[in-house]
Amino acid sequence: MNILTLWFHKLGSPPTFYRLAGLLLPWCYGIGLLLGLVALYSGLVLAPRDYQQGDAYRIIFVHVPAAWMSLFAYAFMAANAFIALVWHIKLSEILAMASAPVGAAFTFIALVTGALWGKPMWGTWWTWDARLTSELVLLFLYLGVIGLNAAIEDRRQAARAAGFLALIGVVNLPIVHFSVTWWNTLHQGSTIRLMGPSKIDAAMAWPLLLMALATHIWFFGSVLMRARIALLQLEGGKDWVRKVALDEGAAGG
Amino acid sequence: MKPGGTAGACAALVRRDLTLVWRRRGDALNPILFALMVVALFPLALGPEPEQLRRIAAGIVFVALLLAGLLALDTLFRSDYEDGSLEQLVLSPHPLALLLACKIAVHWLTTALPLIAVAPLLGEMLHLPVAVRGVLLLALLLATPLLSLLGAVCVALTVGMHRSGMLLALLVLPLYVPVLIFGAGACNAAQAGLPFLAPLLWLAAALVLALVLAPLACAAALRISIS
Amino acid sequence: MKPGGTAGACAALVRRDLTLVWRRRGDALNPILFALMVVALFPLALGPEPEQLRRIAAGIVFVALLLAGLLALDTLFRSDYEDGSLEQLVLSPHPLALLLACKIAVHWLTTALPLIAVAPLLGEMLHLPVAVRGVLLLALLLATPLLSLLGAVCVALTVGMHRSGMLLALLVLPLYVPVLIFGAGACNAAQAGLPFLAPLLWLAAALVLALVLAPLACAAALRISIS
Amino acid sequence: MHEITDSDHRPALLQAIGLGFARNDEPIFGPLDFALHAGEVVLMEGDNGAGKTTLLRVLSGLLAPTSGEIRLHGAPLRLADLSPQVALLSHQGGLKHDLTALENLRFAAGLHGQRKGISPHSALAAVGLDGYGEVLVRQLSAGQKKRVALARVLLAPVGLWLLDEPYANLDRGGIELVNRLLERHAHDGGAALITSHGAYAYTSGTPRRIALRAQAATGAVR
Amino acid sequence: MHEITDSDHRPALLQAIGLGFARNDEPIFGPLDFALHAGEVVLMEGDNGAGKTTLLRVLSGLLAPTSGEIRLHGAPLRLADLSPQVALLSHQGGLKHDLTALENLRFAAGLHGQRKGISPHSALAAVGLDGYGEVLVRQLSAGQKKRVALARVLLAPVGLWLLDEPYANLDRGGIELVNRLLERHAHDGGAALITSHGAYAYTSGTPRRIALRAQAATGAVR
Amino acid sequence: MAEFITMGGYAFYVWASIGVFVGVLALDALAPLAQRRRVLADIRGRLQRRAAREQREHGGSP
Ligand code: HEM
Ligand SMILES: Nc1ncnc2c1ncn2[C@@H]1O[C@H](COP(=O)(O)OP(=O)(O)OP(=O)(O)O)[C@@H](O)[C@H]1O
Ligand SMILES: Nc1ncnc2c1ncn2[C@@H]1O[C@H](COP(=O)(O)OP(=O)(O)OP(=O)(O)O)[C@@H](O)[C@H]1O
Ligand SMILES: [Mg+2]
Ligand SMILES: [Mg+2]
């Protein structure tokens, strides 16, 4: 057994994970919310107006972090699906399936905010260029994974089948990311670089990066939340789950 | 619940079908997603020029919704047939045509109405002129119940057959053609600035006729194919 | 028949599947009729102007064949699953991926090839320029096996599910998008007098890759969903 | 409505006169003559494919007989206005898997009406499924599904039960349950026609048996 | 390949060690330990939903066990290379309805290989379906279909039979036939594990029985 | 302040974007809560049924 599986087995004991995730959860949601509010404030109020786009550019502070998250969540899901398929680790199955709805939510946000930005900038809500199309395909991939996962009765089998589909869909990730360089499109190329010179003013960059950080933290909170529920569902017959259920029942009346 | 009343039976049926849809509300999204994807296929296949897309937008939206409705038709009686509750429906002491009309109405509400709701979005994806949107919605509101009713008769005929998917499509599509011609025709006329009321009125007339006749035909077809 | 030989097993499988198609040769026509009808819907929905139709002909033929292929996909493993012979296939001592590759090949031969054969007719219905016809056929010859292979993986994932029709479409269509873009793109380029070799080469490369990987993926998917 | 009576001079709930059914001109079961009276349980036996299921579907009015006639309480059964006097338990059960057991029974009560003195709740209790009312039918085992379907029959306000293999899928407890329900129904003045090719069957009293033979154009009443 | 032997010092065709299976983490059958030797027929009994079918699917390699191990001739069964040493008769039968009985058997012989000294023709004769070779399976009755599926098992060149409810759907003649086939197979050095919850079962000799109980995490070998 | 709200004429687009962002993420956080309640209620129901069954069986065969 290699280090990775050992680690997963240790931490991946369901009751342990449930408890740890429960401890982490409020912090993830709390810090995510806090950073997000700060980022929104500084993006909407403190950051200067763009000389070209005027105030419309402020959509960047929600569009770009959401778009990044749509890619990150898919990568996270696929990585977990891979681990789940190769090493049959229950926790990875759960994490993969838990990240699908969150990723879909971010993809949806990226699409809608992109469209809302496109109308004033390009004069149209939607065009069929490579980046927009591939992002739409990404949403469909997420929905396919969610749909397949929901359609199969046996939870573990469902997670494996849907994880398999997620892995097939990974080819779309580089297409989304590099579409602006591979094809000439309406959509803007890379402007933000973590390393090397950035093409964007620092006063605009830092709220953006802050929001990106906030969405990452929020993402993990949301995934942990869903993973905990999936764990309860999956381990419904175990004693520790019964205890959780009865405690909750006593508390909730 | 007063036992035996026909209205009560219809209410029970409607409640049951709505509950079933609610239990599988994830599935209810499928027709919408399918229509979205079919609409997305066309710009990809034809190229993204907005001018060209605009010209064919209404037609494509109509065809996409028609195909989505076609695929959704299969669920109308399929599961009821497989689990034997269709049999129980036929055996009930109430008029079968009325019960079927209730079923068709619920099916329309839960599959076609959401499709109509996303139609403006589909139109936007193909750069449909805003002015035509109203006519498109009106045409769809008249056309989709007609499609559901006509489709139901065909489904009733094929229920109980294995592999009816393709066969159903073959039976239904010829019946859908006139609806498509009038519905899309109205939109095209509106887009070209021509009068578009006549085709809509034709659709309305056909709808009234179908509302009366289709449930009866559906009941007759079902009696044939259930035996 | 030498028992136990893998080649013999593949031959037996191919022979069986061909016999089955032959026994139900009526059903084999369904995809063609469906494609014909979908293509026929467009002149009805868009109006009959030849100029406009000509411009979108190749794309529509592509989309129609893609949808017909999509609906036909369902039959790939469905009946084998239902009557338990898929189980027997999995239990056989031969490499599953190879056996599945045989099944996919037969499926392509019996559903996609006839569709390709009627493609010129479909093109004619939409006034496709004769010059583009060759490119269309070439693109279809490269694209349809790719569609079959990709589709087979998704079908393998949904086998054993009730009401998989819509879900299958949802899973498959995103994977079909690149194939459509390159295939229809080649035709459109040819129609516009632009070079069209590059997209065809991309398709060919993808096909080679899929020929190797898809049967393996299909076998893995099947093992997951049969359990 | 005047009563048709047979030799016993009791009113016949169900009477088949020269009843035959053919598919594609091949006879499935031959001309059958029999009557079913209140208080009677008749067992129909036959090998696979003998036509038991088909006979029940004809009797319930789902299939039109090729020859002969069916009378319910002396009045001929017509296809058009299907009778509310018959409860059919068929192979499939007629339950929606995505509804709970109680929801299924409530729907059945809405559709067919409900026997006096019994509610969906008590019907469920009568088949030994106390406490399973809120469980989705999909999550029940095959035997439990069968019990819910039996509860539906129990609930229907009709005198005549047509039960197709009510014993299939049931374990011993279930088989006894069916026998008890049948006995009570007969005692209350109902009648039932049941099919079986298993070893378990309604054994209390000595039920009349009808033997169907596959593809033979004869059916004999013993 | 070294032979695993159990207390009887005979080579075990099939051995289950602490074998368990769970769905959604609910145990379907508990840790089971048993061995099946050449010349043995073991009958597995259990109520509906006890997990009989599931056990057979696990033993054949179609499902991966949640815990424990399966050994065929002493070598562990792995999911990846499925064993050619097992013939499975499942609920569905694995026959194509649009092929004739003989075509089905010929295909099975091509896929799985063919036992020495037996041909599709003679296998069909052995199950009493002489003269039905050219009939489409779709036109056979349920019992006849079952017989064709049995002929497929007969044809496979394997020592271990896993038969799921081989008696279901069969009339008395068919039940005797199955018993005769099992006896001959055991006599020839094969072994069989069969399930049943019916009253009919393999009765010649006194077969060992394994009882499965629903949802209980115990399986006892009597 | 007014300038902040009008966003240089782009108010609809900017505020709609922010609204979608906040709204969808709020839904994303709330949806699991309902699901969690359902799952726990389901588990409790199963426990109750099992308890009832065990009681019945013990009562039936003392
Ligand atoms: C519906 C329309 C749109 C969609 C689907 C969309 C999608 C995306 C995606 C997926 C990314 C992340 C790419 C990556 O990280 O590799 C992105 C980044 C970005 N988008 Fe959009 N976008 C849309 C409209 C717009 C519009 C109208 C603008 C501005 C005029 C815009 C500006 C940007 C910028 C500046 C980035 C950051 C690029 C970088 O630095 O990497 N987007 N968009
Ligand atoms: N829908 C149908 N179409 C064609 N033939 C049918 C159909 N249903 C039944 N049959 C045939 O009619 C005959 C009688 O079938 P039926 O189902 O009534 O038999 P059964 O006595 O109920 O058998 P079982 O014991 O298997 O339930 C059989 O030969 C069967 O193959
Ligand atoms: N595909 C499946 N998905 C989920 N649960 C299943 C599946 N197949 C079987 N089960 C469940 O597993 C348990 C065991 O089923 P199994 O089919 O092995 O029982 P069995 O002993 O063969 O019963 P029968 O006598 O009805 O054939 C049952 O509770 C059943 O509901
Ligand atoms: Mg029957
Ligand atoms: Mg079983």
In a domain, E115, yes or no: yes
What are the angstrom distances between the C-alpha of F59 and each of C75, D125, E24?
53, 16, 31
Chain A residues within an 8 Å CB radius of F8: 49, 54-56
Q: From CA B102, how far away is CA B1, in angstroms rounded?
A: 18
Pairing label, strands D41-46, D12-23 = unpaired
Share of chain C above pLDDT 90, in %: 44
Query: Over 70: is that where the pLDDT of E68 sits?
Result: yes
Note whether D143 contacts E49, CB cutoff 8 Å.
yes
Out of D53, D58, D197, mutate this one to test ligand 2's pocket (max ligand atoms within 8 Å of CB): namely D53
Query: Does residue D131 sit at the F interface (CB-CB below 8 Å)?
Result: yes
Q: What is residue A148's predicted lDDT score, i.e. its pLDDT?
A: 92
What pLDDT sits at residue E161? 93
At residue E157, does pLDDT exceed 70? yes
Among the residue ranges D145-159, D192-206, E57-71, the one predicted with the least confidence is D192-206
By Cβ distance, the residue of E79, E94, E97 closest to C88 is E94
Residues of B in contact with C30 (CB under 8 A): 166-167, 169-170
Please report which confidence band the pLDDT of residue D216 belongs to, taking 50, 70 and 90 as the band edges: very low
D2 within domain boundaries: no
Chains that touch E (3 or more CB pairs under 8 A): A, C, D
Nearest CA among C146, C164, C163 for reference residue C155:
C164
pLDDT of the residue at E82: 52
Provide the pLDDT for residue E2: 41
Q: How far is E27 from chain A (nearest CA, A)?
A: 9
Return left, alpha or beta for A101; rule: phi > 0 is left, psi -120 to 50 is alpha, else beta.
alpha
| Mean pLDDT, range E94-110, rounded to an integer | 91
Q: What pLDDT score does F25 carry?
A: 94
Q: Residues E83-93: what's their mean pLDDT?
A: 80
Measure Cα distances from D59 to A55, B88, D189 in Å: 77, 14, 19
C84 vs E92, E98, E110: nearest CB:
E92
| CATH number of the domain enclosing D205 | 3.40.50.300
Query: B205 φ, ψ to 5°?
Result: -60, -45
Nearest CA among B116, B115, B111 for reference residue B136: B116
Q: Which residues contact A59 (CB under 8 A, 6 or more apart)?
A: A113, A116, A117, F13, F14, F17
Phi/psi of residue E19, nearest 5 degrees: -75, 130
| Whole-number pLDDT of residue E121 | 93
Q: What is the mean pLDDT of residues E146-172?
A: 87
Do residues C41 and B172 touch, judged by C-beta distance below 8 A?
A: no
* Number of Cβ within a 10 Å radius of residue E48: 17
Q: With beta carbons less than 8 A apart as the criterion, state whether E95 and E132 touch.
A: no
Number of domains in chain C: 1
Regarding the beta carbon of A188 and ligand 1, being less than 6 Å apart is answered yes
Nearest CA residue ID for atom 4, ligand 2: D23
Question: What is the dihedral sign for C-alpha C28, C31, C36, C41?
Answer: positive
pLDDT of residue E84: 64
Position with higher pLDDT, A5 vs D219: A5
Q: Mean pLDDT across the stretch A34-60? A: 84
Instruction: Evaluate if residue C212 carries a pLDDT over 50.
Output: yes
pLDDT bucket at B193, cuts 50 / 70 / 90: confident
Answer whether residue D149 is part of any domain: yes
CA distance A23 to A18: 9
Mean pLDDT of B97-119: 94
Q: Which residues, 6 or more positions from E161, have their beta carbon under 8 angstroms from its beta carbon?
A: E86, E87, E89, E153, E182, E185, E190, E191, E192, E193, E194
Q: What integer pLDDT is reported at residue E221 of this predicted model?
A: 30
Report angle CA E125, E130, E135 to the nearest 5 degrees. Answer: 120
Q: Is position B175 within any domain?
A: yes
DSSP 3-state of A128: coil
Residue E114: inside a domain: yes
Please give the residue range of the domain that contains residue C186: 6-225
- Predicted pLDDT at C78: 84
Please give the average per-residue pLDDT across B177-183, as a whole number.
90
For D11-37, what is the mean pLDDT? 84
Tokens of D89: 């338990």
Give the global pTM: 0.84
In this prediction, residues A219-245 reach a mean pLDDT of: 89
For residue B134, tell me if it sits in a domain: yes
Query: Quick one: pLDDT at residue E203?
Result: 57
CB D2 within 8 A of CB D147: no
Rounded Cα distance, B88 and D109, in Å? 12
- Give the least confident one: A51-55, D129-133, E190-194: A51-55
pLDDT on residue B165: 64
Asked if residue E91 has pLDDT above 60, the reply is yes
* pLDDT score for B23: 86
E8 in a domain, yes or no? Answer: no
- How crowded is the C-beta side of A184, counted as CA atoms within 13 Å? 0
Conformation bin of residue D177: beta by default, left when phi > 0, alpha when psi is -120 to 50 = alpha
Rounded to the nearest integer, the mean pLDDT of chain E is: 79
SS3 percent helix, strand, coil of chain B, rounded to 5, is: 85, 0, 15
Q: Rounded to a whole number, what is the distance in angstroms from the first to the last CA of chain A? A: 45
* Residue D82, pLDDT score: 52
Q: Nearest ligand to the C-alpha of residue C225?
A: 3
The answer to whether residue A124 scores a pLDDT higher than 90 is: no
Which DSSP state fits A46?
A: I
Nearest CA to ligand 1 atom 32: A188
For A220, counting Cβ atoms within 10 Å of its Cβ (0-12 exposed, 13-18 middle, 19+ buried), the class is: buried
Q: Strand pairing partners for E72? A: E14, E75
Which element (helix H / strand E) includes E78? none
E168 domain-assigned: yes
CB E113 within 8 A of CB C121: no
Displacement of CA A76 from its chain's centroid (Å): 8
Span from the CA of C59 to the centroid of ligand 5 (angstroms): 50
* Whether D63 contacts chain F with CB within 8 A: no
pLDDT digits (tens, 9 = 90+) for D114-165: 888 899 999 999 998 887 888 888 878 777 888 999 999 999 988 899 998 8
- pLDDT greater than 90 at residue D8: no
Q: With a cut of 50, which residues of chain F have pLDDT below it?
A: 60-62
CA–centroid distance, residue A114 to ligand 1 (Å): 7
pLDDT of amino acid B196:
84
Amino acid sitting at position B69: G
Note down the domain range covering D205.
14-219
Work out the pLDDT band at D9, boundaries 50, 70, 90.
Answer: low
Terminal Cα-to-Cα distance of chain E (whole angstroms)? 30
For the record, the structure tokens of C180 come out as: 């459509």
3-state SS track over chain C:
CCCCCHHHHHHHHHHHHHHHHHHCHHHHCHHHHHHHHHHHHHHHHHCCCHHHHHHHHHHHHHHHHHHHHHHHHCCCCHHHHHCCHHHHHHHCCCCHHHHHHHHHHHHHHHHHHHHHHHHHHHHHHCCCCHHHHHHHHHHHHHHHHHHHHHHHHHHHHHCCCCCCHHHHHHHHHHHHHHHHHHHHHHHHHHHCCCCCHHHHHHHHHHHHHHHHHHHHHHHHHHHHHHC
Supply the DSSP symbol for D192.
E
Q: Which of residues 156-215 of B touch C (CB under 8 A)?
A: 163, 165-167, 169-170, 173-174, 177, 180-181, 184-185, 188
D24: burial class by Cβ within 10 Å (0-12, 13-18, 19+)?
exposed
Q: Where are the alpha helices (DSSP H) in A88-201?
A: 90-122, 130-151, 155-168, 172-182
Contact F48 D134 (CB under 8 A): no
* pLDDT computed for residue A247 by the predictor: 83
Angle (CA) E93-D169-D116 rounded to 5° is: 140
pLDDT at B135: 92
CB contact under 8 A, A237 and E23: no
Structure confidence at residue E51 (pLDDT): 82
Residue D126 tokens read as 């009568």
pLDDT at residue number D49: 67
Residue that has been written with the tokens 């034809």 in this structure: B46
Does the structure show a pLDDT above 60 at C196? Answer: yes
Instruction: Decide if pLDDT at A121 tops 90.
Output: no
Compute the average pLDDT of residues D78-94.
73
- Which of D19, D80, D1, D36 lies closest to D208, judged by CA? D36
Residue A253 has pLDDT above 90, yes or no: no
| pLDDT 10s digits, B21-42 | 988 887 788 889 889 989 999 9
Give the pairing type, strands D208-212 and E67-72. unpaired
Residue B108 has φ and ψ, to the nearest 5°, of -65, -45
pLDDT at residue D118, rounded to an integer: 92
Q: What is the ipTM of this complex?
A: 0.82
CB atoms under 10 Å from CB of D203, counted, come to 10
Query: CA A36 from chain center: how many Å?
Result: 15
pLDDT digits (tens, 9 = 90+) for B40-75: 999 988 888 888 888 888 889 998 999 899 888 888
What's the domain count of chain D?
Answer: 1
Six-digit token pair at D87? 């409860």
What mean pLDDT do residues E171-194 have? 87
In this predicted structure, what is the pLDDT of residue A194? 47
Say how many Å lie between the first and final Cα of chain B, rounded: 31
Q: What is the distance between the alpha carbons of residues A67 and A71, in angstroms, rounded to a whole number? A: 7
Q: Token pair for residue A106? A: 């971010």
Q: Which of B143-147, C45-49, E25-29, E62-66 has the lowest mean pLDDT?
A: E25-29
The C-alpha of D131 sits at a distance from chain F's nearest C-alpha, in angstroms, of: 6
Residue B214 lies in a domain: yes
